[in-house]
Amino acid sequence: MSCYVDVILPLPVSGIFTYRVDGEHASLVKPGMRVTVQFGRKKNYTAVIHRIHSQKPEGYEIKSILSLLDDRPVVNEHQFRLWEWISDYYMCTLGEVYKAALPAGLKFVTAARKDGEKSVRKRILKKKTEPEGNEPAGSRRTELSPAQEKALREIRESFLKTDVVLLHGVTSSGKTEIYIRLIGEALEQCKQVLYLLPEIALTAQIMQRLQAAFGNRVAVYHSRFTDKERVDTWHRLLYPEGEGIRVILGARSAVFLPFSEAGLIIIDEEHENTFKQFDPAPRYHARDTSIMLARFHGARVLLGTATPSLETYYNCMNGKYSMVELTDRFGDVELPEIQVVNTRELRRKKRMHSHFSGILLDAISDALDRKEQVILFQNRRGFSLYLECELCGEIPKCRQCDVSLTYHKISNRLTCHYCGYGIPVPAACPACGSTALKMQGFGTEQIEEEIALYLPEARVARMDLDTTRRRRSFEQLIARFELHESDILVGTQMVSKGLDFDHVSLVGILNADTMLNYPDFRAHERSYQLMAQVSGRAGRKGKQGTVIIQTSDHEHPVIDKVVRNDFKGMYLSQLEERRKFHYPPFCRLIEITLRHRDRELLDKAAEFLARRLKQYTSEKILGPEYPLVSRVQNLYLKTLFIKTSKTQSLPAVKNSILFLLSELSGHPMFRSVTHVVDVDPC
């Protein structure tokens, strides 16, 4: 007997492909199992069975599967529904979703991976004969404050009305303890919980609290784990025999795990743009994808943040989501005092000490005298932003990207932050030969070095992409700071995202202008969020903290709203701007990026596509324009934005885009032009 299976291949090709299953395998195959198939002339791939049927396709020869890899499915029906939604909404192929969803050990069959699966099953069998040991000691629970109790009660009531609730709680208000109570309630109902964080760095602190409450039922899942560890977690969640996992703490990729009984999804710091996947496809947003995952399971979603995204807050105001507010900090800790320092005026009076105002240096010194800790925030890594010849103005640039090279002193190299290309620091200007080379701008590496010069007794640590590349580096940095082995933590936006430190009394924001002046319609919203979030790290346990914001535009309206903790005012002003110029949440955005090595050919292709889009759809088309960085890895880029009205059928617009992109790809002149579609670009 034979049957036929439609399979998904881990390739960016449209559609699914049919293969024949012969012999004994025909009675064993099930949807979600993996098979080895030949695709193309010689290459073999690990495919996932999507559907089993008896309908033989007509018109071409059907190949047989080469082997069946599983004795039970590794992908369940809830995942298939989610994959199909992601493929449809984010305009990518099912193969691209499959490639992103499964850990590599389930996409490529190796002896090591098979041994790993055997070890998992051995541990499961052993666990069946051992005491569970999963129950927490009756921590241990922290007593909730009256404000927390009220918020918890309101969340429960809100879940009776809407499936999505926003917990809008000020920084350090104790949102995590509320999450833990809700997780406990979900586990009592034998449900699974997904707890998403925007940054891998946050998992260490939260994991300690979750394990104290729920023991071995909690697991962490993110890209810094080895492939074997991720495969182990996948199997333990899919088949929870004896060693079952009920709570997953993870970064955005955890949304792809094989949940079968999800009851609660928590998305902490829901406003963070790191929940958005940029490259490669699928370019999904983990918050929005989680809401759909919850819908497929009949689960509830709790969004938590002190600074909601404008779209989320808008959904609350319109009644689509419910909102619960938590306005008191836990333990009656006061919100920090915020001071704004006018660096333009201080530079005019020659009262700046390199990148530090005297006010900030004095405050740091006072904090260290009191044995307190300090966080210094600068949203650029590296030592200097670029090197410039004082004689001719030449700035070394990447040979592959249209971007200046950033100076990293620790390696004494100029490095591209887009492609990684780097060169040694030149002794003289390559254009004119002058040795008068000057470093311009500053990043975290320079702050780390200079603060040590002004305060040599201070122990300084740095948290940015350069210092956290190794797997455990996040946890080690945080642990050392928590143990007060360092006094000053210099960092990029990594330090702003929900970290709790008991002894931080001062936060310094070195240069607010770089955030405020970024050319993006979300710049003011994100600037407010970043400054408010990093400010929230100051002040713990009965002591009011201090925040010092250095800026050359001290009267900027966003800074004024940060000082007054006026999120609602920021929201209303930005909402009016968005309404006026028709940006989300009053429309949907779809970004199309075209790429090619030949700039002239790219220009022609972009104009062709823009013209056809305007002929084919009534939606507003912006561009084509070169982005801020117009060449990356020797490919020129040109972008178009499609603004889609909320009243317009989004599927119809997407179908038009896909049709016109296929027309572009089929054009004799433009076949070599590649394209990327990003729905809801962040």
136 falls within a domain: no
Q: In terms of domains, do 400 and 516 share one?
A: no
Rounded to an integer, what distance in angstroms lies between the CA atom of residue 547 and that of residue 539? 9
Q: Token pair for residue 415?
A: 């490095």
Rounded to an integer, what distance in angstroms lies between the CA atom of residue 571 and that of residue 336? 21
Tell me the pLDDT tens digit for each residue of 511-529.
998 888 888 899 999 999 9
463, 496 contact by CB (below 8 A): no
Looking at the predicted structure, is the pLDDT value of residue 131 above 80?
no
When pLDDT is averaged across residues 30-47 and rounded to a whole number, the result is 92
Query: Running DSSP on this structure, what letter comes out for residue 173?
Result: S
Which residues on neighbouring strands pair with residue 635, listed in sequence order? 632
Q: In terms of domains, do 223 and 78 share one?
A: no
The candidate with the shortest Cα–Cα distance to 89, out of 312, 283, 310, is 283
- Taking CA atoms, 76 is separated from 188, 198, 471, 525, in Å, by 24, 26, 30, 39
Q: In terms of domains, do 464 and 400 share one?
A: no
pLDDT of residue 136: 45
Tell me the pLDDT tens digit for each residue of 300-355.
999 999 999 999 999 999 999 999 999 988 877 888 999 999 999 999 999 999 99
Tell me the pLDDT tens digit for each residue of 656-671.
999 999 999 999 999 9
pLDDT of residue 58: 84
Determine the residue type at 4.
Y
Instruction: Please say which residue of 524, 557, 577 terminates a domain.
Output: 577
Return the minimum-mean-pLDDT range out of 239-243, 383-387, 669-673: 239-243
Q: In terms of domains, do 26 and 156 share one?
A: no
Q: What is the CATH number of the domain that holds 601?
A: 3.30.70.600
Instruction: Please say which residue of 57, 91, 109 terminates a domain.
Output: 109
When pLDDT is averaged across residues 399-416 and rounded to a whole number, the result is 90
Determine the residue type at 594.
L
**CA torsion angle for 461, 464, 465, 466 (degrees, to 10)?**
-40
pLDDT of residue 544: 85
Helices within 104-202 (DSSP H only): 104-107, 111-128, 146-159, 175-188
What is the rounded end-to-end Cα distance, in angstroms, of the chain?
51
SS3 220: strand
Query: Running DSSP on this structure, what letter comes out for residue 75?
Result: S
673 falls within a domain: yes
pLDDT of residue 374: 96
pLDDT of residue 117: 45
DSSP β-ladder status, 460-463 and 352-353: unpaired
Q: In terms of domains, do 551 and 643 share one?
A: no
114 falls within a domain: no
7 falls within a domain: yes
When pLDDT is averaged across residues 543-547 and rounded to a whole number, the result is 89
Q: In terms of domains, do 567 and 627 share one?
A: no
pLDDT of residue 382: 83
Q: How many CA atoms lie within 13 A of 479 on its CB side?
A: 8
629 falls within a domain: yes
284 falls within a domain: yes
486, 525 contact by CB (below 8 A): no
pLDDT of residue 465: 83
Containing domain of residue 364, as a range?
A: 333-381+444-577
Q: What backbone phi and psi angles, to 5 degrees, belong to 514?
A: -60, -30
Q: In terms of domains, do 343 and 418 share one?
A: no
Q: Token pair for residue 251?
A: 């970064």
Structural domains of the chain, count: 5
Q: What backbone phi and psi angles, to 5 degrees, belong to 250?
A: -165, 175
Q: What is the CATH number of the domain that holds 162?
A: 3.40.50.300
Q: Token pair for residue 94?
A: 């099912």
Q: In terms of domains, do 264 and 283 share one?
A: yes
Rounded to an integer, what distance in angstroms lies between the CA atom of residue 439 and that of residue 374? 26
Whole-number mean pLDDT of the chain?
Answer: 90
Rounded to an integer, what distance in angstroms lies between the CA atom of residue 75 and that of residue 64? 21
Q: Token pair for residue 633?
A: 């890895």
SS3 450: helix
Q: In terms of domains, do 239 and 274 share one?
A: yes
Tell me the pLDDT tens digit for each residue of 91-126.
999 999 999 999 998 987 543 344 444 444 444 334
Q: In terms of domains, do 390 and 375 share one?
A: no
Q: Token pair for residue 461?
A: 């640590």
The candidate with the shortest Cα–Cα distance to 609, out of 597, 622, 627, is 622
Q: What backbone phi and psi angles, to 5 degrees, belong to 268?
A: -85, 145
Looking at the predicted structure, is the pLDDT value of residue 129 above 80?
no
Tell me the pLDDT tens digit for each residue of 368-380.
999 999 999 998 8
29, 3 contact by CB (below 8 A): yes
Which residues on neighbouring strands pair with residue 453, listed in sequence order? none
Q: In terms of domains, do 400 and 501 share one?
A: no
Q: What is the CATH number of the domain that holds 49?
A: 3.40.1440.60
Count CB atoms within 10 A of the CB of residue 381. Answer: 22
Q: In terms of domains, do 227 and 310 share one?
A: yes
Tell me the pLDDT tens digit for each residue of 279-290.
899 999 999 999
Confidence of residue 542 (pLDDT cuts 50, 70, 90): low
Question: Scanning the structure block, which residue is given the tokens 């934005």?
Answer: 641
Instruction: Please say which residue of 267, 297, 330 terminates a domain.
Output: 330
479 falls within a domain: yes
Which residues on neighbouring strands pair with residue 422, listed in sequence order? 415
When pLDDT is averaged across residues 382-400 and rounded to a whole number, the result is 88
Rounded to an integer, what distance in angstroms lies between the CA atom of residue 398 and that of residue 383? 17
pLDDT of residue 121: 43
Looking at the predicted structure, is the pLDDT value of residue 360 above 70?
yes
Looking at the predicted structure, is the pLDDT value of residue 132 above 60?
no
pLDDT of residue 1: 67
pLDDT of residue 224: 80
Share of the chain above pLDDT 90, in %: 70
122 falls within a domain: no
Looking at the predicted structure, is the pLDDT value of residue 127 above 60?
no
